[in-house]
Amino acid sequence: SRTLKKAITLYKPVQVWEWLFKSCEVNGRILVRDGLIDVKDVEECLVKGNCKKLYIQLPAWTVLQCLLASAKSNSSGLVISDGVELTEMNSPRDKVFAWLVGPLMIMKEQIKNLELTEG
């Protein structure tokens, strides 16, 4: 119905990318605090171009944290920030996002089915 369509907020691709970059910043600060990333890693990236830890591992860690939080919260989608859930209904209508979000939803369900516990 027309009312239902208005109630669903469709997120734009830029909003999802902003979440990813902001989450990488937050997780990066946590990893620096915990000693898993240090000044040497940043210098290696800037000076030598060796950016694997910052360009690959940090975003992968960020996505993993999202998947774990989403599975733990029993979300029907991906919990991308406080109070924001990205679902198939509200994700950007873009082929890149269909390609990205679809597999992440499957991974989240697989993680949920593992019934992981903390500790």
pLDDT of residue 3: 52
Helix-, strand-, coil-residue percentages of the chain, each rounded to 5: 65, 5, 30
**Any idea where the domains of the chain sit in the sequence?**
2-113
pTM of the model: 0.81
Percent of the residues in the chain that have a pLDDT greater than 90, as a whole number: 51
Q: Given a cut of 50, is residue 105 above it in pLDDT?
A: yes
| Residue from 78, 103, 99 nearest 20 by CA | 78
